[in-house]
Amino acid sequence: MKKNLLISMLIAASAFLLCSCTIAFTNTGTQAENKTEPVIAEGLPGFEAEGSTDLPGNFFLSFVYSRNLIMLDGRGNIVWSKHEEQPSEGALTGLWDFKKHDIDGKTFYSYHDNTGAYDDYGLQGFAPGERVIMDENFNEINRITFEESEVVEKGHPLDGHDFLMISPDHYIMSGYIKETVKNIPDHDSASVVGSYLQEVKDGNVVWDFHSTDYPELYGYTVTDASETADDFANEETDVPDYVHFNSMRLDGDGNLVCSFRHINSILCLDRSKNEDQILWRLSGAGDEFGLSEMQKTSGQHYATVDGSRITVFDNNNKNGATRISTYAIDPAEKKLEFFKTYMPGGKFSRACGDVQHIKDELYMIGWGMTVNDNNCMSVFDFSTGDELFTVKLENPKNCTYRCVYYE
């Protein structure tokens, strides 16, 4: 299907090459991905799939405010799904960040369970809960929360934005921590919500990152996506979410490349250090790669890494026009080598969302909290301008957190 597609390709100087379906079946929760009989849960949100792809893998959909997980094949057919009712009347908890993990020949799945049992500080965008690990047949085998450290007690909830599994006993988790700090310039003390990342191996904390250890980050906070993000005087809130972590990926050197939405920046963190962990900053007020204002992100929600290439789902809150941007960088020289951006015409996602570069100019996009239509995910071939595959929600308010592709 052909869509009117505005493709904006910005290449800096010669040195820069840079269904409406209503489903009602019983969920057994035991059907493996590679079996022919689908698992279609009763109570799933209605959706419509348009178009198709010949991609061999599956699309994994998770939802912000409803307890649903859906796995679709490349033609929009349900392969596996899960639905749960809300834990209490009026609750809007979700199952976030549905993933597949292939490790040493074995397959695992996981998702974040925003259980509703933990304090969310009254903070929008924070869904405290537990990481659920499932085996290859979707049977729950573990629930994970933080281990004890100097920052958190054992059992402190995770925030749900992202999770990396290196092995079944080795993983990296993310959380939000409400704390009082005394290292903000011009403020004697302030209550803030900081980002905390923790790496655990065999039950022991082997590395962590605590954003409030880096006071320079306070000066990078912007209000593109949250009006109170920089309220360090606590005049309107006692939980200014000043960095807002939302994604992480390992690069080829084992460093952690993370997206922080409220500083409009991608940070690379050194996992071999306990201090001076920030190796470089891409975009935002602290940018070290000489990006122009047009090349910088605004309220981005997702960044992936492929060699020197970083692909970002840039919500672009400042301008109200979501785009997909690719950066090729030389980290050692702090140099931008290539930049390219695609802007599917008329699309704006105010929060959530994601992107994956599949091959050539083929991209899978999860639209998150889109405000223009009810599309929750698309597959685009930007070389032709074709939108090959789209999933539309019957109720656009039941927005997806993330839609990702795994082979």
Long-range contacts of 370-375 (CB under 8 A, 24+ apart): 370/322, 370/396, 370/399, 372/346, 372/347, 372/348, 373/347
- Residue 224 domain-assigned? yes
pLDDT mean over 53-68: 97
Tens-digit pLDDT profile for residues 27-56? 334 344 445 699 999 999 999 999 999 999
CATH number at residue 221: 2.120.10.80
Average pLDDT over residues 206-232: 98
Q: The domain containing residue 339 runs over which residues?
A: 47-406
pLDDT tens-place string over residues 223-273: 999 999 999 999 999 999 999 999 999 999 999 999 999 999 999 999 999
Please count the CA atoms within 13 angstroms of the CA of 309 that sit on its side-chain side. 14
pLDDT digits (tens, 9 = 90+) for 71-97: 999 999 999 999 999 999 999 999 999
Residue 112 within a domain: yes
Residue 340 lies in a domain: yes
pLDDT bucket at 201, cuts 50 / 70 / 90: very high
Query: Does the residue 36 lie in any domain?
Result: no
What b/e string do you get for 26-42 counting C-beta neighbours within 10 Å, with b at 16 or more? ebeeebebeeeeebbbe
pTM: 0.91
Over the stretch 128-159, which tens digit does the pLDDT of each residue have? 999 999 999 999 999 999 999 999 999 999 99
pLDDT score at 29: 40
Given this model, what pLDDT does residue 36 score?
63
CB-based contacts of 354: which residues, under 8 Å, 6+ apart? 247, 301, 302, 313, 365, 366, 368, 402, 403, 404
| Tokens representing residue 192 in the block | 């803030």
Q: What's the structural domain count of the chain?
A: 1
pLDDT of 22 reads 35
3-class DSSP state of 263: helix
Q: What is the pLDDT of residue 404?
A: 97
Q: How many residues does the chain have?
A: 407
Q: Which helix (H) or strand (E) holds 358?
A: strand 354-359
121 in a domain, yes or no?
A: yes
Q: Is residue 2 predicted with pLDDT exceeding 90?
A: no
Strand order in the sheet with 265-269: 245-250, 256-260, 265-269, 278-282
Q: Which residues make Cβ contacts (< 8 Å) with residue 306, sequence separation at least 6?
A: 357
Residue 269: exposed, middle, or buried by beta-carbon count in 10 A (0-12, 13-18, 19+)?
Answer: middle
| pLDDT confidence of residue 20 | 35
Can you say how many angstroms the Cα of residue 67 is from the centroid of all Cα atoms in its chain?
17
Question: pLDDT tens digits, residue range 312-322?
Answer: 999 999 999 99
DSSP tag of 390: E
Examine residue 172 and state whether it is found in any structural domain, yes or no: yes
| Structure confidence at residue 208 (pLDDT) | 98
pLDDT of residue 372: 87
Q: Is the residue at 319 inside a domain?
A: yes
Asked if the structure places residue 25 within a domain, the reply is no
CB 286 within 8 A of CB 260: no
172 pLDDT band, cuts 50/70/90, is very high
Q: What is the mean pLDDT of the chain?
A: 92
For residue 8, what pLDDT is reported?
41
pLDDT tens-digit map of 350-404? 999 999 999 999 999 999 999 989 999 999 999 999 999 999 999 988 999 999 9
Q: DSSP string spanning 363-377? A: EEEE--SBSSSSEEE
